[in-house]
Amino acid sequence: MKKDTEIIGRIKNSLSGLAFADVKNASAGGATMGAFILGSCFIDYLAGFYYGHRSQKDDYINFANKYLKKYGGERLYYSMRNGLVHNYSVERDFVFSEKGIDGPHFGKYKNGKIVSNLEDFISDLEAAMNKYFKAIEHDEELKKRAIRRFKRGKMLEVLR
């Protein structure tokens, strides 16, 4: 049991202290699009622990539908994950904003796309992560899946 507790601690540290911290650091450093890209990658990373293996398309979509409902899993997957992460562009759905300059988060921009405000996006990611952390403490199946992914060596760690 102690070993499982240590593993969960390492997972939480990797998720919050490394991956999510990078999203916040990119934003603080002025790398707006970098923060959005890392945020989308972070969703993939969370989904992988939620499902216990390297995240697949349906895992990303289903995780987003559960923990980031207002975004819509498919919309996030196709616009941010595929469009932004792989092509550094978004063909549909979103325009990106800082500090609500282009309208309120999830408001409509003049071109009809949805405004995604970086600060709100980061806040929503943090809330999703914290909900997942709470769930993993009370759901043995979720805990087993996270540990299974950890044991397969699918975790980000930096040696310091």
What gap in Å lies between CA 88 and CA 40, rounded to an integer? 12
To the nearest 10°, report the CA torsion of 156, 158, 159, 160: -150
Q: To the nearest whole number, what is the mean pLDDT of the chain?
A: 90
DSSP state of 108: B
Count of positions (residues) in the chain: 160
How far is it, in rounded angstroms, from Cα 125 to Cα 130? 9
Ranges 5-14, 84-93, 150-159: which has the least confidence: 150-159
33: tokens are 């699009």
**Residue 107 has what pLDDT?**
79
Of 19, 55, 52, 51, nearest to 37 by C-alpha is: 19
Domain spans of the chain, in order of start: 2-85+124-151
The contacts of residue 37 (CB under 8 Å, 6+ apart) are 84, 85, 88
pLDDT digits 0-9 by tens, 48-101: 999 999 999 999 999 999 999 999 999 999 988 888 888 888 877 888 888 766
First to last CA, the chain: 27
**Rounded-to-integer distance, Cα 145 and Cα 1, Å:** 15
What pLDDT shows up at residue 120?
Answer: 92
Tell me how crowded residue 123 is: count the other CB atoms within 10 A of its CB: 12
Q: What is the pTM (predicted TM-score) of this model?
A: 0.91
